[in-house]
A and B are shown apart, each in its own frame.
Chain A
Amino acid sequence: MSEEQHWSATGLLEQISENALDDDYYIVRASEPRPSRISGLVVGVLLTSFALFVTTAAVQTRNDRPATELEQRTLAADIKERQKLLDERRATAAGLSAEVQSLRRSGEADGGQPADLGVLAASESVHGPGIVIAAQSSRNGLEAGRITDRDLQVLVNGLWYAGAEAVAVNENRVGALTSIRTAGDAITVNFRSISAPYTIVALGDSDSLRTRLAQNPAGAYWEDRRKRSGVQYAVTPSSDVTLPAAPKERLALKHAANLEVSR
Chain B
Amino acid sequence: MIPVIGLVVGLGLGLWLQPTVPVWLQPYLPIAVVAALDAVVGALRALGEKRFNDRVFVISFISNVIIASAMVFLGDQLGVGSQLSTGVIVVLGIRIFANAAAIRRRIFHA
Contact = CB atoms under 8 A, between A and B. Distances in A.
A58 to B, nearest CB: 8
Q: Chain B interface mostly helix, strand, loop or mixed?
A: helix
Interface in A16-50: 16-18, 20-22, 24-26, 28-29, 32, 35-36, 39-50
26 contacts: A13-B94, A16-B91, A17-B94, A17-B95, A20-B45, A20-B94, A22-B56, A24-B53, A24-B59, A28-B55, A32-B53, A43-B3, A46-B57, A48-B7, A50-B37, A52-B13, A52-B19, A53-B32, A53-B36, A54-B33, A54-B37, A55-B15, A56-B14, A56-B18, A56-B19, A60-B20
B105 to A, nearest CB: 12
A45 B7 CA distance: 9
B58 to A, nearest CB: 5
Contact of A20 (B29, B53, B98): B98
Q: Indicate the size class of the contact surface on chain A.
A: 35 or more
B104 to A, nearest CB: 13
Given A25-B49, A50-B7, A50-B36, 7 more contacts: A20-B102, A21-B45, A22-B42, A50-B40, A53-B32, A57-B33, A59-B18
A51 interface: yes
Interface residues of B, number: 47
User: Which label, helix, strand, loop or mixed, suits the secondary structure of the A interface?
Assistant: helix
Interface of A: 13, 16-18, 20-22, 24-26, 28-29, 32, 35-36, 39-61, 63
